[in-house]
Amino acid sequence: MRSERASSTTLSYVLSLSITAILISGLLVVGGDVVRDQREQTVQNELQVIGQQLAADLMAADRLAQAASGGTVRIASSLSEGVVGSTYTIDVDGTSGTLELSTTNPDVSVTVGFGTETGVTSTTVAGGNLRIVLVGGSLEVQHV
């Protein structure tokens, strides 16, 4: 009868450890998804803010270009070089008046609109320190 009790205790111990391991694994998987989702949301929010800053700088350069009428316009735009440890690119589409900011890790993209009377040259630049210059009658975003 004693040998039955010993195997019962050992079996209970092994089952308890197995259930605990399964529960901890489940928590780690769920926790990883929550962290990943939170990171993507943070990247999206940061890209949105950066896009709005650049759009405001473009519109300020446009107002200066309208007032300067043939003069020189040059605005420095100091933006973050990365978001949550990732680099990003900015696609400036002068035709549609949009900025598309995107990262590859995580794969997040944000579009911000802007309105200018002066034409804007379509280009792609890396995030970081930029300048907006008036070149040949249109505004151009350049990486510094």
Residue 84 counted as domain residue: yes
pLDDT at 70: 72
Q: What are the pLDDT digits (tens) for 26-52?
A: 888 887 777 778 889 999 999 999 999
Low-confidence residues of the chain: pLDDT under 70? 1-7
pLDDT at 42: 92
- Measured CA to CA, the distance from residue 114 to residue 95 in angstroms comes to 11
Report the amino acid identity of residue 64.
L
- Give the number of domains in the chain: 1
pLDDT at 4: 56
Residue 34 counted as domain residue: no
Domain range for 97 is 43-143
Contacts of 73 (CB under 8 A, 6+ apart): 61, 64, 65, 132, 133, 134, 139
Residue 136 counted as domain residue: yes
Residue 51 counted as domain residue: yes
Residue 70 counted as domain residue: yes
Residue 57 counted as domain residue: yes
Residue 15 counted as domain residue: no
Residue 117 counted as domain residue: yes
pLDDT at 36: 79
Given a contact cutoff of 8 angstroms between Cβ atoms, the answer to whether 139 and 58 are in contact is yes
